[in-house]
């Protein structure tokens, strides 16, 4: 079938490449000539493992078309996906202005015959009904349409695998015809097909992300207890995670969650709850604890270091992505700069994005060993495998002071003690 995807960010581009790989003809609408040119040339702009190869493959096969013209794409399409951003406003509410603007641009070009307009952007309950009102008002009289919600569940760093081998595909619509068409599109995806009403589909994505955020913040809350009592958070959570009702996944203490999804989705669900008169105390506590993890980490640094030159390993909010949106590194770098630190940084993929934000304020290094040369301390903020497997003897020799603040608990304290490091981690007693 023929598909249009509006937006070429993480969700839009990954979805476009995967649907094209299924054999569909896919139009991707953008608004920047420079970015569209890069995408046509095989440059995905963003870093996602395997995405460049998949983009090149389907460009070569002629199944991907990166354009600006809505009329050419929408008028030929069986399904139109909206995949634009919904960033948080100052009050935490999701900014839906781009979603509604795009709906207005789609509407006049809907074809004679049946078209599904499906929102993959993460949007609050009721948004798709508003999209439908815009479409019905502006579409040609002959166009037969149905609105659907088909939320994505992509993890940055494993987005291709999550698309091709998803554990579930959620389709929400009041139209059986739309449901059938979307299920046909996802027929080769092995995950369970969950068919719901619009409101349920919209809420499923927010619920999934908020539940995962709650688990992370709960693990960090327990780490606070461990640091004050002498307990070891990894031992505690390993034992708790053996309970099949709980599990260990996403119970990872550290400097907290970041990225383009969890922070904004928790805020948006809080905002929606307040509008509905629901007590959102649990979600607010989740957000508060996430911020407290940064504060606790910084307290350790500011209380311990005697020199003001610090190295940082890891800038992206998680491994296998270049995404620094709401990354813990941003809060920590800002605070360190405010306190007069000289900062050397390295990340496998996030350097370019950090350079755009901190032009001239940081020293950018080409590898992790350059970061630690002559520094008074080292902070680890992203758990890249490169850091887990590094030669720690070489690191120690390069540092002015063998002092490490590990915000991701990637090393064994017993090993660090044997190597002669002063080592601070999360929820575990320091090695001094």
Cβ neighbours of residue 129 closer than 8 Å, sequence gap 6 or more: 147, 198
Residue 385: alpha-carbon gap to chain centroid: 19
Residues 233 and 162 in one domain: no
Residues 132 and 279 in one domain: no
Domain residues for the domain of 297 are 221-424
End position of a domain, from candidates 198, 232, 255? 198
Global pTM reads: 0.92
Tell me the per-residue pLDDT of 9-59, one tens digit each, with 9 for 90 and over.
999 999 999 999 999 999 999 999 999 999 999 999 999 999 999 999 999
Whether 215 maps to a domain, the answer reads no
Q: Chain-wide mean pLDDT for the chain?
A: 96
> Catalytic annotation on 261?
yes
* Interstrand relation of 192-196 and 422-424 (parallel, antiparallel or unpaired): unpaired
Whether 211 maps to a domain, the answer reads no
Half-sphere exposure of 116 (CA within 13 A, CB side): 27
Whether 207 maps to a domain, the answer reads no
Whether 210 maps to a domain, the answer reads no
Residues 266 and 176 in one domain: no
The H or E element containing residue 66 is strand 64-67
Residues 232 and 338 in one domain: yes
Residues 268 and 188 in one domain: no
Residues 92 and 125 in one domain: yes
pLDDT at residue 260, rounded to an integer: 86
Whether 299 maps to a domain, the answer reads yes
pLDDT at residue 367, rounded to an integer: 97
Query: Cβ(194)–Cβ(219) under 8 Å?
Result: no
Beta bridge partners of 79: 3, 116
Query: Cβ(147)–Cβ(133) under 8 Å?
Result: no
List the one residue out of 328, 329, 340 whose CA is nearest residue 302. Answer: 340
Which of 119, 150, 226, 261 does the annotation list as catalytic? 261
The yes-or-no verdict on residue 111 having pLDDT over 90 is no
Residues 155 and 277 in one domain: no
| Distance between CA atoms of residues 119 and 103, nearest Å | 10
Residue 13 sits at the vertex; the CA angle it makes with 12 and 17, to the nearest 5 degrees, is: 120
340 pLDDT band, cuts 50/70/90, is very high
Residues 194 and 226 in one domain: no
Whether 208 maps to a domain, the answer reads no
272 pLDDT band, cuts 50/70/90, is very high
Residues 110 and 189 in one domain: yes
End position of a domain, from candidates 198, 230, 248? 198
Tell me the per-residue pLDDT of 364-383, one tens digit each, with 9 for 90 and over.
999 999 999 999 999 999 99
**3-state class of 251 per DSSP?**
coil
Which token pair is 142? 């002959």
Residue 244: alpha-carbon gap to chain centroid: 27
How many residues belong to the chain?
432
The yes-or-no verdict on residue 112 having pLDDT over 90 is no
Whether 125 maps to a domain, the answer reads yes
pLDDT at residue 148, rounded to an integer: 98
Residues 259 and 151 in one domain: no
List the one residue out of 274, 286, 311 whose CA is nearest residue 407. Answer: 311
Half-sphere exposure of 398 (CA within 13 A, CB side): 17
Residues 252 and 194 in one domain: no
| Distance between CA atoms of residues 75 and 111, nearest Å | 5
Q: How many domains does the chain have?
A: 2
Query: Cβ(196)–Cβ(171) under 8 Å?
Result: yes
Residues 39 and 138 in one domain: yes
Whether 209 maps to a domain, the answer reads no
CATH number, domain containing residue 160: 3.40.50.720
List the one residue out of 429, 424, 426 whose CA is nearest residue 305. Answer: 424
DSSP for 35-65, written as a single string:
HHHHHHTT--SS--TTHHHHHHHHHHTT-EE
Residues 66-83, mean pLDDT to the nearest whole number: 96
């Amino acid at each position: 079938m023929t598909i249009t995807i509006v937006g070429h960010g993480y969700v839009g581009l990954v979805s476009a490449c995967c649907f094209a790989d299924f054999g569909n003809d896919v139009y991707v609408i953008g608004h920047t000539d420079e970015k569209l040119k890069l995408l046509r040339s095989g440059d995905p702009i963003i870093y996602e493992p395997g995405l460049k190869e998949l983009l090149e493959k389907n460009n070569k096969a002629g199944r991907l078309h990166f354009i600006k013209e809505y009329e050419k794409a929408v008028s030929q399409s069986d399904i139109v996906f909206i995949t634009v951003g919904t960033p948080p406003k100052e009050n935490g509410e999701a900014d839906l202005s781009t979603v509604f603007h795009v709906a207005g641009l789609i509407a006049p070009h809907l074809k004679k015959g049946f078209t599904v307009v499906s929102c993959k952007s993460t949007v609050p309950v009721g948004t798709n009904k508003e999209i439908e009102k815009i479409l019905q008002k502006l579409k040609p009289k002959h166009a037969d349409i149905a609105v659907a919600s088909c939320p994505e569940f992509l993890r940055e760093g494993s987005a291709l695998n999550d698309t091709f081998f998803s554990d579930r595909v959620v389709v929400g619509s009041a139209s059986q015809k739309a449901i059938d068409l979307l299920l046909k599109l996802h027929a080769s995806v092995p995950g369970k097909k969950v068919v719901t009403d619009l409101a349920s589909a919209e809420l499923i994505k927010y619920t999934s992300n908020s539940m995962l955020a709650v688990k992370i913040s709960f693990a960090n809350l327990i780490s606070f207890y461990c640091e004050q009592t002498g307990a070891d958070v990894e031992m505690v959570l390993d034992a708790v995670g053996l309970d099949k009702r709980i599990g260990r996944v996403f119970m990872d203490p550290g400097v907290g969650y970041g990225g383009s999804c969890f922070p904004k989705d928790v805020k948006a669900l809080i905002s929606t709850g307040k509008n509905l008169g629901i007590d959102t105390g649990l979600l607010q506590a989740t957000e508060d604890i996430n911020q407290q993890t940064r504060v606790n980490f910084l307290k350790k640094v500011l209380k311990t270091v005697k020199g003001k030159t610090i190295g940082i390993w890891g800038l992206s909010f998680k491994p296998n992505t270049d995404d620094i949106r709401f990354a813990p590194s941003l809060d920590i770098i800002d605070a360190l700069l405010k306190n007069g630190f000289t900062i050397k940084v390295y990340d496998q993929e996030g350097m370019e994005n950090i350079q755009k934000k901190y032009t001239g304020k940081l020293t950018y290094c080409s590898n992790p060993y350059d970061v630690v040369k002559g520094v008074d301390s080292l902070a680890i903020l992203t758990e890249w495998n490169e850091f887990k497997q590094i030669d720690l003897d070489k690191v120690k020799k390069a540092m002015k002071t063998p002092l490490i603040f590990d915000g991701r608990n990637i090393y064994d304290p017993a090993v660090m003690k044997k190597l002669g490091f002063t080592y601070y981690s999360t929820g575990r007693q320091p090695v001094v």
